[in-house]
Structure 1
Amino acid sequence: MTASDPHSESDRSQPVDDPSVSAPTAAGTARVTDAGSDGRPRTRTRRVRDRLERRAIVASAVVTTLLLLVMFYYPVATVFVESIVVEGVVTLAIFADLLRNPFYFGDFARLIAGESPLAVGQDLLSSDRRLGIVGFTAYQAFLSTLLSLALGLPMAYLLARYEFRGRRTLRSLTILPFVLPSIMVAVGFVATFGQNGTLNAVLGAFGLGPVSLMFSLEAILIAHAFYNAPLVARVTTAAWESVDASAIETARSLGASPFRAFRDVVAPQLYPAALMGAALTFVFTFGTFPIVLALGGIQLATVEVFVYQLIQDLNYAEAAALAIVELVISLGVLYGYLRYEAKHTVRSRGVRPLPRKSLSPPSLSVRELTPRFGLAIYGVIALFVFVSPVLSLIYRSVAGPTGGFTLAHYQFLIDRQATGAAYQARPWPAIRNSLLFAAAALAISLPMGVVISVLTTRRYRGRKLIDVVAMAPLAVSGIIVGIGLLRGPVFGFEVGDYRITVTGAVAIIAAHAVACYPFVVRTVAPGLESIDPSLLESSRALGASRTRALIDVELPLVWPGVVAGAAFALAISMGEFSSTVILATGTDQYTMPVAIERFIGRRLGPATAMGVVLLVVTSISFVIIDRLGGESYGL
């Protein structure tokens, strides 16, 4: 018998428990397994597992793409198609009618109709000019942007240039607009600036007359500043902290005055950040919905409010066309900013940040007192704009009609739960739906966000295109997504002889997941980008697949970002209103924000009580996610 014979005596003499030999087969032969990269033999199960691991990222990318197509791109495409296809015929007649309608475009519509630009310009400069719905939306967005810059830039200066007690807390609070539901903040502003609000109560205590800010442009602007001034401060603070101190010192040593050094060295590095904050603020406030719905009334309605009204009137084609006009304007603003950023962004490497000046030691000099005086003034403004609405919400939920403490508003919610009709908003279904939808949206958006983060931070072909395509939901209004999901999957579509439809709950979860996952990407991707590539190379050299390296090396390093992304996703889902109010109309799938909106139109007390419930539930969910993340990874 030759040595190559598999039935040689030497082969049969090997111990049965040798790991390199499998158990005897039915034919009495022994099968030698191949060795893996770690030197250990691989069984068939392990080979299958290794193949799955090697293809896991590709498979995850395919699944994520399909989810995006179904949950986002198909609904948005449905809206676009519905705006240009009327009774099976492709036409731009709806857009033409919109552009020529003074109700939407005011005096600008006369230009489309062929009137003299000179005559139209004279009317626009007169006191009785007509802006139309689109013009007013742009006007209030412009004013909101100016107010947000006026409040956000001083905050950025104080945070970046001075060290004082509470600075880190103040900087942490700049994340506030991303975690507070807009409809809850709107109720807080009603409780603050309403006829019987806390502002008038404070003024009355000093013998001053009442101030009426409700259903006014001023209330809308202040509410928008509440959300967007911290955003401006956050992005501008980062720019301040990246200014190279040595460049300023060089400019001063060459004879430049402090103002000249600021103008020529510091300002060029701040402009892109300030413009980014301005562009984002304009886009967010141009697409405003719950704030205006609660604080503005029909006389100050914006584009999104009228889109919602058209949907209520079942005028889907005009609603879709108006939503597309809004989307084009928003994308145009973002495109203009991105073009500016590409040409003017100053990139600094190895900078030495400017040292912060301490405000703690007491001093009576004018030079030292000035920033303290400025900080005190800004503190009063911040208390008025950023803190008072939330405190007023809590206070009004327990305040009686004639003063004093009461739990009547919470009792109303309990009574409504026990005896309310099926068509009325009840607390427990709203809480239950919010929690279930948030959990489901989190389960979808978190893996999607991690996968997209991996694809956009590694040297995959076309990663820039992936980033643009995946981040598109940030620029698309929830109203558009809601219309698309309603007119597409919810109403159903035909595939062969079958008609496929989804329930309202599934559509709401899809809308929430689409709104959530970009924020997961923005918290996870920077961490993945900063990981030392040598760590991945070492793990791959030791035989780990790309998926195994991600699970065992990368994710543990960026786990705080994953937990933060989960917290963002949860908060955004809990507070999502725009798409939910469309998809929940006429159903029992309403959430806490929708219930608040239904209460606020009738009784402010129950609306504030429901707002506090939303605040408590969101806070508890935050704590649970934070605790789970910390306990699992020792954070």
Structure 2
Amino acid sequence: MTADPRPVPSEAESTAEEADDGDGGYRVRDRLERRAIAVAAVVTAGVLSLLFYYPVATVFVESVLVEGTLTLAVFLEILRDPFYFGDLARLFAGESPLAVGRDLLSSDRRLGIVGFTAYQAALSTVLSVALGVPAAYLLARYEFRGRRLLRSLTILPFVLPSIMVAVGFVATFGRNGTLNGVLGVFGLGPIELMFTLEAILIAHAFYNAPLVARVTTAAWESVDASAVETARSLGASPMRAFRDVIAPQLYPAVMMGAALTFVFTFGTFPIALALGGFQLATVEVFVYRLVRDLNYAEAAALAIIELLITLGILYAYLRYEASHAVRSRGIRPLPRHPLSPPTLSVRELLPRAGLAVYAVIALFVFVFPIASMLYASVSGPGGFTLDHYRFLAERQATGAAFQVRPWPAVRNSLLFAVGALLIALPMGVVVSVLTTRRYRGRKLIDAVAMAPLAVSGIIVGLGLLRGPVFGIEFAGWRFAVGGAVAIVAAHAVSGYPFVVRTVAPGLEGIDRSLIESARALGASRWRALVDVELPLVWPGVVAGAAFAFAISMGEFSSTVVLATGTDQYTMPVAIERFIGRRLGPATAMGAVLLVITSISFVVLDRLGGESFGI
């Protein structure tokens, strides 16, 4: 037998060779981990471009490209049309500004659709601030049982579906609503508030006053108590100390709440459609009507004008904030006083009496509509009944194919919410990571990533409809997505900014030494993120998931555009179709939607606490 001429490696050489192989594998894995965040950023940017920026760009193109010709004629027609701009349209037609201004100040002025939208948004803002600031005063200055729960309830605008709230207001203020029922007991009424501006304003206050209260409470709680004590020691009265020390730190927060309220109510859709109809229609309602009439060019142009107005308001606020913001030193917050102390002086009694009056108004505005909806869902002419729920069951069993049936609406809402969550959550986490890293240009990335907050669902829905749903031609091929996929995409775009707003503050507040220690021990940026950062902000991640799920469940604006003429309707769309025909089934469906969204709210409150960055 011939001996093998190849040398046999020693044990040490074999061990070294295995170590080399191990080091090589580690280096490959390390390179992948080091690039994982960059890859996630690229994928997120691609998804966001596909689901948001391309559809919105499609709306822009629709407004300036008519039958293959680049033109601004559609914009000019809208600007010069008194139907949209009232007397202001005469300015765009070349009339004298003095004559137009004189007519605008007269009692018979014409506002037009855009003017009325701005008018109701301004009134809604004033009412929301008037109801939100006292709530902030109560939460920031007094200690009482249930204060934390009441503070948590200020996130309701982001959780409760707007169409469900509209049903509650119909059940409250309708001719046969609970308000007239209560007034009838005392021999008063009836009062008809449906399809009036007052109903729209109160509904807007329901949504936006808690937002004003939340941001103002945070500002009030960050006031330095020592500054107030210094002012008092120098002879300032309590009113003077408030005016010179506290108020300047509250103004930016109040202005922020007011600006956001104006933007949200200027782009109002479900509330105005359900409570005002087309006789009190806003810009958003007419955009929807134009889409339904297949007038896409005019709808796109009107939507762009609306977007420019809202972005202008936000820009004006940001300029104000930059010049008036007061940095809180946060040394020692103002102490809270017991709401019900053993003894009260006359001076202490007056603000508490005012808060008692405010509590009655708050119950009427914030609690009564939801309670009325629940009551209407189980009541009828003969008293307590489950007929409205039986109607839903019968409609499910025997309804025709073209009729709205409950189970498909519930099923679609749940499936779309899960799909939107699976997209919105990773997108939101990645954007949170990118916007909390220290590098040049991160503020620009933050602004671009948060753009969906400033763009209405109607514009997103219209863009998805005219783009991916109708089909995109590329290299001779035509690509189209189904209505369900487009709806999930629209819901994900609506929900992911709220994931960012709950996760990013937590990442920003992490002790950087923990991350540096992990990196010093050999962890890649990706491994430090997964093993150190995300576990520390896990409650915020879960809270963001709850937000995304709840927002998808209640999303109406984009859904009603994409679901028109299909069987992809959700519970909010089903409620809107019921509400115009039979209020009872609409309230029953609203109660079902309330139960499902409340589950998300409970998760949100339990796991997120007061740490949300919204």
What's the TM-score, normalizing by structure 2? 0.96
1:506-556 CA distances to partner (integer Å, 9 max, x unpaired)? 110110000000000000000000000000000001111111111110111
Structure 1: how far apart are the matches of 2:236 and 2:344?
29
On the 8 A contact 2:34/2:524 being kept in 1, the answer is yes
Structure 1: how far apart are the matches of 2:204 and 2:604?
29
Structure 2: how far apart are the matches of 1:172 and 1:621?
13
**Displacement after TM superposition at 1:628 (Å):** 10
Corresponding position: 1:305 with 2:285? yes
**Percentage of matched positions with identical amino acids:** 80
SS at match of 1:34: helix
Q: Look up the match of 1:12.
A: 10
Structure 1: how far apart are the matches of 2:119 and 2:86?
12
Q: Look up the match of 1:591.
A: 570
SS at match of 1:255: coil
- Alignment counterpart, residue 517 of structure 1, candidates 491, 496, 520: 496
Q: Look up the match of 2:479.
A: 500
Residues matched between the structures, number: 605
SS at match of 1:33: helix
Q: 1:381 to 1:403 in 2, by over 3 A?
A: farther
- Alignment counterpart, residue 132 of structure 2, candidates 152, 156, 162: 152
Structure 2: how far apart are the matches of 1:316 and 1:212?
36
Corresponding position: 1:63 with 2:49? no
Structure 1: how far apart are the matches of 2:123 and 2:258?
11
**Displacement after TM superposition at 1:89 (Å):** 1.3
Q: Which amino acid aligns with 1:34?
A: D
SS at match of 2:20: coil
Q: Look up the match of 1:266.
A: 246
- Alignment counterpart, residue 553 of structure 1, candidates 526, 532, 547: 532
On the 8 A contact 1:214/1:295 being kept in 2, the answer is yes
Q: Look up the match of 1:366.
A: 346
Q: 1:347 to 1:121 in 2, by over 3 A?
A: same
**Displacement after TM superposition at 1:375 (Å):** 2.1
Q: Which amino acid aligns with 1:133?
A: I
SS at match of 1:107: helix
1:188-217 CA distances to partner (integer Å, 9 max, x unpaired)? 000011100011111111121211110000
Corresponding position: 1:162 with 2:160? no
Q: Which amino acid aligns with 1:341?
A: E
SS at match of 1:602: coil
Structure 1: how far apart are the matches of 2:105 and 2:220?
39
Q: Look up the match of 2:302.
A: 322
Corresponding position: 1:480 with 2:459? yes
Q: Look up the match of 1:89.
A: 69
On the 8 A contact 1:244/1:351 being kept in 2, the answer is yes
Q: Look up the match of 2:333.
A: 353
On the 8 A contact 1:179/1:572 being kept in 2, the answer is yes
On the 8 A contact 2:223/2:330 being kept in 1, the answer is no
**Displacement after TM superposition at 1:364 (Å):** 4.7
**Displacement after TM superposition at 1:255 (Å):** 2.3
Q: Look up the match of 1:538.
A: 517
**Displacement after TM superposition at 1:397 (Å):** 0.4
Q: Look up the match of 1:605.
A: 584
Structure 2: how far apart are the matches of 1:418 and 1:571?
28
Q: Which amino acid aligns with 1:144?
A: S
Q: Please show how residues 118-517 of structure 1 align to structure 2 within 5 Å.
A: 118-400=98-380, 402-517=381-496
SS at match of 2:18: coil
**Displacement after TM superposition at 1:87 (Å):** 1.4
**Displacement after TM superposition at 1:169 (Å):** 1.7
On the 8 A contact 1:457/1:525 being kept in 2, the answer is yes
SS at match of 1:605: helix
**Displacement after TM superposition at 1:43 (Å):** 6.2
Structure 2: how far apart are the matches of 1:143 and 1:234?
20
Q: Which amino acid aligns with 1:552?
A: D
Q: Look up the match of 2:612.
A: none
On the 8 A contact 1:563/1:626 being kept in 2, the answer is no
On the 8 A contact 2:495/2:547 being kept in 1, the answer is yes
Structure 1: how far apart are the matches of 2:11 and 2:104?
100
**Displacement after TM superposition at 1:360 (Å):** 2.6
On the 8 A contact 2:540/2:608 being kept in 1, the answer is no
On the 8 A contact 1:165/1:360 being kept in 2, the answer is no
The root-mean-square deviation of aligned C-alpha atoms, in Å, is 1.9
Structure 1: how far apart are the matches of 2:10 and 2:606?
56
Q: Look up the match of 1:99.
A: 79
- Alignment counterpart, residue 34 of structure 1, candidates 14, 17, 20: 20
**Displacement after TM superposition at 1:622 (Å):** 5.2
1:300-319 CA distances to partner (integer Å, 9 max, x unpaired)? 00000000000111000000
Q: Look up the match of 1:618.
A: 597
On the 8 A contact 1:363/1:369 being kept in 2, the answer is no
**Displacement after TM superposition at 1:282 (Å):** 0.0
**Displacement after TM superposition at 1:430 (Å):** 0.5
**Displacement after TM superposition at 1:113 (Å):** 1.2
Q: Which amino acid aligns with 1:618?
A: T
**For the pair shown, which has the larger CA radius of gyration, 1 or 2?**
1
**Displacement after TM superposition at 1:625 (Å):** 8.2
**Displacement after TM superposition at 1:570 (Å):** 0.5
Gaps of 5+ in 2: 1-5, 610-614
Q: Which amino acid aligns with 1:277?
A: G
Gaps of 5+ in 1: 1-6, 22-30, 36-40, 631-635
Q: 1:534 to 1:333 in 2, by over 3 A?
A: same
On the 8 A contact 1:471/1:518 being kept in 2, the answer is yes
Q: Look up the match of 1:576.
A: 555
Q: Which amino acid aligns with 2:487?
A: I
Q: 1:620 to 1:579 in 2, by over 3 A?
A: same
Q: Which amino acid aligns with 2:385?
A: T
Structure 1: how far apart are the matches of 2:12 and 2:606?
53
Structure 2: how far apart are the matches of 1:349 and 1:558?
25
